[in-house]
Each structure stands twice: as C-alpha cells, then as structure tokens.
Amino acid sequence: MHKFANPTFFMKIANGIFPWATGISILCFAVGLPLALIISPPDYQQGDTVRIMYVHVPAAWMGLMVYGVMAASSAVFLIWRHTIAHLVARASAPIGAVFTALCLVTGMLWGEPMWGTWWVWDARLTSMLILFFLYLGYIALGDSFEDQERGDKAAALLALVGSVNLPIVHFSVEWWNTLHQPAIFGLKGFSVNAAMLQPLLLMVAAFQFYYIAVLVIRLRAELLSAKIRTARFNLAAAE
C-alpha cells in the first residue's frame, strides 16, 4: 500500500482512470437523463414529481459514499501517515458537500408537493443536514490552523467521528417513524418498478463516475498547492 503514497505513482494511475471516468459519466448522463426525465413512466401517486428521485437518490447515495471515502482515507492517514490518503479526503470534501446540498434541495422540492411543506425535522432529513454540516466542518477545520499538520490531523479526526452519522442516515427510516419513504434497496432487493430502476441506476453510475473524474482534477490541484507551500517554506527558510 505504501507505494501508493508516492504522488507520481498514484497520479499516473489516477490520470489513466480520468478519461475513462469522464467518458462513462458523460455517456450515463446522456442516456440516463432522457430516460429519467422524459421516457420513464410517472408514478401512480406522485405523478411526474417522482422524476426528482432520479437526481435526489443518486445525490443522497453519493453524499454518504463520499463521506465514507473521506473517513476511510482519514483513518489511513492517521494510522500510516499516508499523505495521498489525506489528499483524497481533502479533495473529496467539497464534492461530497455539493452532493449532500443537492440531496437536501431536491428533497425539499419533492417534499413541498408531497408533504405540503418544504422542511420537516424528520429523522432522515435531520441526519442528512448534520452530514452536510460535517462536510463544512471538515473543510473549515482543515484550514483553521496556522500549522497545516495540526489542521490535517484535526480534520481527519472529525471525519472519523462524523462517520458515526452514516448508519444513522441510512437506517433512520427503519429505526424511527418518519415521513420519508423506505430505502429503495433493502434485503429483499429493489422496491421500485423495473421501468424506473434502469434510469435510476444509470444516474447513480453517472454521479459515481463524475465524482471520480472531479476527484482526479482536485487531486491535481491539491498536489500543486502542496508543492507551492513547500517551495514557499523552503524560500522562507533560506532567507
């Protein structure tokens, strides 16, 4: 695993993945969006409002998945001092925050016609809002220390502590009485019609490969920023 701590080796692999991730994401969006927003049937109860699901559900899944990546990367960073793992977590945080914000906004757009209100302090909504604040806290904490190493460690610890919220978000609809619909995927399989499942899975794939592509771009920026900080430190030390 330690060979992946070499930025040159790691980015060689990441740069090779980038065009494939970008291409698959574009293809999935190109096929999935028309299927989701035009061709797929309306719901017998929700009508065309159900189409919000094709953005809301993938955004929710990605919000959870990206935070899971951050937590795992932070653990690797704290245990093995794996610099690239920390950069993966740091680069992922703004992407995950955007996915979570998109989930909350689309959830409110769906909730108003279905529940008659934009927001309720429902277990699923509240735990997802906490997840959004955890993302913001991670981003802010990492840049709040003059000593970059202390900030990196503090942010990594927050990512690990915040991961306790992930199962709460996922199982909240089963543990508590909530207005939110049950999980689409459970032990008995998928709970949506096959005509809706295909575009939904395409949109999930589009979001996942979009994350990978943007992550590579942000990793390039993080590595460049690290080089600039090192050069400035060396210049200041020389003076």
Pick from 24-38, 202-216, 225-239: least confident? 225-239
pLDDT tier for residue 187 given thresholds of 50, 70 and 90: very low
**% of the chain at pLDDT higher than 90:** 56
CA dihedral 170, 110, 66, 227 (to 10 degrees): -150
Residue 57 confidence (pLDDT) above 50: yes
Give the pLDDT confidence of 208-228 residue by residue, as tens digits. Answer: 999 999 999 999 998 888 777
- Please, how many CA atoms are within 13 Å of residue 11, restricted to the half-sphere of its CB? 14
- The per-residue pLDDT of the chain, averaged, comes to 88
Give the pLDDT confidence of 121-166 residue by residue, as tens digits. Answer: 888 889 999 999 999 999 999 888 878 889 899 999 999 999 999 9
In this structure, which long-range contacts are made by residues 77-84, counting pairs with CB atoms below 8 Å and at least 24 apart in sequence?
77/152, 77/156, 78/153, 78/156, 78/157, 78/160, 80/1, 80/2, 82/1, 82/2, 82/4, 82/5, 83/5, 83/7, 84/4, 84/5, 84/6, 84/7, 84/10
Annotated domain spans of the chain: 51-238
What pLDDT does residue 145 have?
83
> Which of the two residues, 3 and 91, has the higher pLDDT score?
91
pLDDT, average across residues 5-9: 80
Residue 198 confidence (pLDDT) above 70: yes
**% of the chain at pLDDT higher than 70:** 90
**For the whole prediction, is pTM greater than 0.85?**
yes
pLDDT, average across residues 91-110: 95
